[in-house]
Structure 1
Amino acid sequence: MDRLLLGLGGLALAFSVLFFIAYNWNEIGRLAKFALVEASIVLAIAAYWKLDSDGTTGKTALLVATILVGVLLALFGQTYQTGADPWQLFFNWALLILPWALIGRFPAIWILWIALLNLSIVLYQQTP
């Protein structure tokens, strides 16, 4: 039960950054949006490093960081209108979190990685 609550709390923290930026999109400047997401990633990685990296708390912090990488990529694509296909976002996200999946050895990160890779393949096959 403790692990479930810890995991749900970590997901709530990651998505709270996303929702905060989305809700305050017009009020927050471009630099502040990026600074908030990047600082959140740094804090999550610091929590993984400082806490027990083999324990559930540290691995949950690493999972939060992997989700925030996706938030950062989506923010970049939305802010600068890169014109990239959707499959590239998910493929790059999977590529960027692969080292953390290897280091963390946490099944939830591997599930996210496999889902991102499968989604990018499906979206790539659907592009004209």
Structure 2
Amino acid sequence: MTIDSDRPMDILDAACPSRDVFVDLADKWALLMLASMRERGAQRYSELQRSLGGISRKMLSQTLRTLERDGLVLRSVDPEVLPPLVLYGLTDLGSEIAEETRALCSWTEKRAASVHAARVAYDQRHASDQGV
């Protein structure tokens, strides 16, 4: 895909090339993976899987491939070690977006209790709508 540099980017426009980049980044596993690599640095596949807790091997592989394709994650192999040491780490571009997501992560940790309380209140208000 060739991007027209004269065309302004608009993430809300479904035809804008920035939209598919945003969709890749907005994936929960992608955000968690970026946060893990930001905090812990480059990691082996199994280390990354443990740090994310709950991700399947299939989803881990798929998300790593997507982030590598987008230029955010670099897969490096050290063939001098047996078995070869494979590490996944952030590129400069990946470090930049991982840093940008720090505020979202911080807000989420700080406000999770408020969001959960809002959910409970909502569910109680709408319980009769669901025939409960």
Q: How does the TM-score come out when normalised to structure 2?
A: 0.27
Bigger share in helix = 1
Q: As a proportion of its length, which structure holds more strand?
A: 2
